[in-house]
Amino acid sequence: MKLKKIKNITISIFLKYIFSTLIFLSYSSSALADIGKAINPKPEHSSQCIQIIKALDRYHYLEKNLDNSMSLIILDAYLKQLDPGKQLFTTEDVYKFKQYQFQFDNDLKKGRLDTAFNIFNLYMDRSKERLDYILTLIKTWEKSLDFTKNESMIVDIDLRQWKDNKSELYFLWEKELKNHIISLILNDQQTALISDTLEKTYSNRLNRLLQTNSNDIFQIFMNSVTASFDPHTQFFPPRASEDFDIHMSLSLEGIGAVLQTEYEYTKVIRLIPKGPADKSNLLMPGDKIIGVGQGETGEIQDTIGQRIDHVVKLIRGPKNSFVRLKIIPAKKSDSTKTIQIKREQVKLEEQSAKKDIITMEHNNQTLKLGIIEIPNFYIDFNAYHRGDKDYKSTTKDVKKLLFELKDENIDGLIIDLRDNGGGSLKEANELTGLFLKSGPVVQIKTKYRTTRLYDEDPAIEYSGPLIVLINRMSASASEIFAGAIKDYHRGVIVGTRSFGKGTVQEMQPLGKGKLKLTSAKFYRVSGDSTQHLGILPDLQYPQLYKIKDTGESSLDGALPWDTITKISYNAYPSLSLVNEKLNMIYQQRSLKDPGLNYLKKIIEMASDLNDQDLLSLNLDARKSKKKQYEQLEIEIENDYLKSIGKPPIEKLDQENMKTDEFKKIIMDQTHLVMADFIDLSYDLDFSW
């Protein structure tokens, strides 16, 4: 099911019109108190607000003026944060909010928060009204809802419009409840248990809503303000400041996932390489977590709308214990599934760079290919600062591996940076130096000046044919390394467009809280930013990750790609002719390669599922659609299995995600591309 928002419920005609008369004529706290007790800001919130605004003005990379245009952006961001699915506010509400659209800039500078709190209080009352109504009607859904109608709902929230009045909101709630129920049925929920499931789900949401306090509102509003600067700038109040990295990593006695909030969902941004989630092959970037259960049999707790720190606490736990996650898969966003992952600690040795050697026959010659997989750019800073000569780092480990590979007389080298989310900038710079004579590697631009990191060592540890393999999850330091190799024409970049994380964040203390803000951007020696666009490969593989849902460009308000002045550097001879020939050979091979055709079919099917703007609310039609896609996926799987000499499957299960198989197909292709690269190096008398 494409759960852009699953909140909701059926209605009786009588109650629709009774409730539709409860139109708010004013957004003052006194008017709101007629339905629910208004929550007001605390005195300390005013001073915190002023501190945040001053810090943004002083330290943020973008020299944005807090003026009327920014005020309008802040209001839009706030409304999107509160009601992204346009299922609570009406056109009339939004019209009244617009009278404040040029007021936030002045209010924020003076620490005035009444308007923001009044809007939130209406959100609270409308949310409570809806949930109360839902809970009243849940027990009658089997009689009151008609699943034979040929009706549909808009599932892409970007295409939704504000409803004119509350009567129309009730129709929307009914449709979304029907979608929720259909999804439970399609996921084999017993009809007798559906009412109980819905009761628990919406009762928990109501309880969480009623626990909202002024600190919560202040944090939500101020993060709407910071998000108006860029998506990585964030305010952490005292409660959360000591745990500010909760949305970055769960690697310590957890599952090893990078998470962030996307509207009411907890979304997987990337997986820690070699972590429990990564090794399970059951979770992938773009998946949305909508429930968490403890152990192998614990009840799944609904997490839609929960703060990310609470979701993280549910997911974390002692090593060797199990956690069950109910997810909306990125690959099949019209359905849900429940997976089980064993919590473990990510072991340092598993995060280290590793080598492999494969031998292959190609054009009547035997080739030895070296492969170095780098999960992240690591360094033991404590040992480094102590002056310990044996401190552990990516560059030192890779240098050692290169010596071993050269002793094996390899013909070409593949650096595998897939799923490498970055790490130490120092290591990205020094690792690049192993493959270049000397020169600048990256430019770092703050609002005040531009600095550069250089490779000062003229020694080259490896001078043969080089391929750098990247994917959508290759980010930050990975993009710096790949960008330098590309700009210097030192090697060929293959794979898919990278993440596009080209900004630098720093933490500013703010009383007892913290403000994480963007203070700089990375630029390649060519002057191109790595931000937003990422690194484009010289040879493009099928895109497994959906660009719309993953990577920097998927984030609202992400800083744009741009350029600065190109720096002087001595590049090797152009690889344009090599790249052109490699692409031509690859395209010819891809027409009949079983692995690549399998990937293309899986991606095409997933895109077809995810690109639906409307979702049918006819139960039989949904069952038929599900059966159709399941049969198609089985056919695609079996065509591939037959082509590689394996027995067919009869049904789909969790093991059919084939994440490892996808990775193997890509690596096998990279072996062939490297073999072609070696041939071309000989033919063109190309050397480094």
10-residue averages of pLDDT along the chain (688 residues): 35 30 32 61 95 95 92 96 95 95 95 97 95 88 93 90 93 90 89 90 91 94 96 83 40 71 83 86 89 90 83 87 90 79 77 94 94 93 83 94 96 97 94 96 96 94 96 96 98 97 93 91 98 97 89 93 96 94 96 94 88 91 92 93 91 65 94 96 64
Instruction: Name the token pair of 281.
Output: 């092959």
How far is 134 from 202, CA to CA, in rounded Å?
Answer: 8
Contact 201, 302 (CB under 8 A): yes
Residue 340: per-residue pLDDT: 93
- The neighbouring-strand residues paired with 235 are 515
Q: What are phi and psi of 455, to 5 degrees?
A: -90, 110
For 297-311, the pLDDT digits (tens) are: 888 988 987 878 788
Q: Which CATH class is domain 238-342?
A: mainly beta
Fold: same for 238-342 and 352-574: no
How far is 424 from 520, CA to CA, in rounded Å?
Answer: 15
Contact 672, 363 (CB under 8 A): no
- Amino acid type, 683: D
Q: What are phi and psi of 35, to 5 degrees?
A: -105, -40
How far is 640 from 205, CA to CA, in rounded Å?
Answer: 44
- Amino acid type, 370: G
Give me the half-sphere count of Cα atoms (radius 13 Å) on the Cβ side of residue 345.
6
Question: Any residues with CB less than 8 A from the CB of 62 and at least 6 apart, and which?
Answer: 229, 230, 447, 518, 559
- The neighbouring-strand residues paired with 440 are 454
Of these residues, 93, 230, 455, 487, which one is catalytic?
Answer: 487
Question: In the annotation, is 501 catalytic?
Answer: yes
For 307-352, the pLDDT digits (tens) are: 787 888 899 888 889 999 999 888 776 678 899 999 987 666 677 9
Contact 128, 209 (CB under 8 A): yes
Residue 683: per-residue pLDDT: 67
Coil vs helix vs strand at 661:
helix
The residue behind tokens 């910071």 is: 226
**DSSP letter, residue 103:** T
Contact 538, 582 (CB under 8 A): yes
Of these residues, 501, 514, 516, 546, which one is catalytic?
Answer: 501
> Helix/strand/coil (H, E, C) string of 343-409?
CECCCHHHHCCEEEEEEEEECCEEEEEEEEECCCECECHHHHHHCCCCCCEHHHHHHHHHHHHHHCC
Helices (H), 187-248: 191-210, 214-227, 238-241
Question: In the annotation, is 476 catalytic?
Answer: yes
Residue 16: per-residue pLDDT: 32
Give me the half-sphere count of Cα atoms (radius 13 Å) on the Cβ side of residue 1.
29
Residue 48: per-residue pLDDT: 94
Q: What are phi and psi of 192, to 5 degrees?
A: -65, -20
For 193-215, the pLDDT digits (tens) are: 999 999 999 898 999 999 999 99
Contact 327, 288 (CB under 8 A): yes
Helix (H) or strand (E) holding 454: strand 450-455
DSSP track, 509-561: EETTEEEEEEEEEEE-TTSBB-TTT-PPPSEEPP--S-TTTSSGGGSTTPPPP
Helix (H) or strand (E) holding 154: strand 152-154
- For the question of whether the overall pTM of this predicted structure is more than 0.85, the answer is yes
430-434 contacts: CB < 8 A, separation 24 or more?
Answer: 430/393, 430/395, 430/455, 431/374, 431/377, 431/394, 431/395, 431/398, 431/481, 432/480, 432/481, 432/484, 432/485, 433/395, 433/457, 434/395, 434/398, 434/399, 434/402, 434/460, 434/461, 434/462
Coil vs helix vs strand at 292:
strand
Question: In the annotation, is 601 catalytic?
Answer: no
How far is 232 from 447, CA to CA, in rounded Å?
Answer: 17
How far is 193 from 184, CA to CA, in rounded Å?
Answer: 10
Helices (H), 23-147: 29-32, 43-59, 68-82, 91-97, 104-109, 114-137, 141-144
- Amino acid type, 130: R
Contact 150, 58 (CB under 8 A): no
* Domain extent listing, the chain: 13-229, 238-342, 352-574
Q: Which residue, 594, 528, 538, is CA-closest to 564? A: 528
How far is 336 from 355, CA to CA, in rounded Å?
Answer: 37
Residue 11: per-residue pLDDT: 28
Contact 370, 408 (CB under 8 A): yes
**How many C-beta neighbours within 10 Å does residue 382 have?**
9
Report the CATH superfamily, name and number, of domain 352-574. 2-enoyl-CoA Hydratase; Chain A, domain 1 (3.90.226.10)
Cα dihedral value 253, 257, 258, 264, nearest 10 = -100
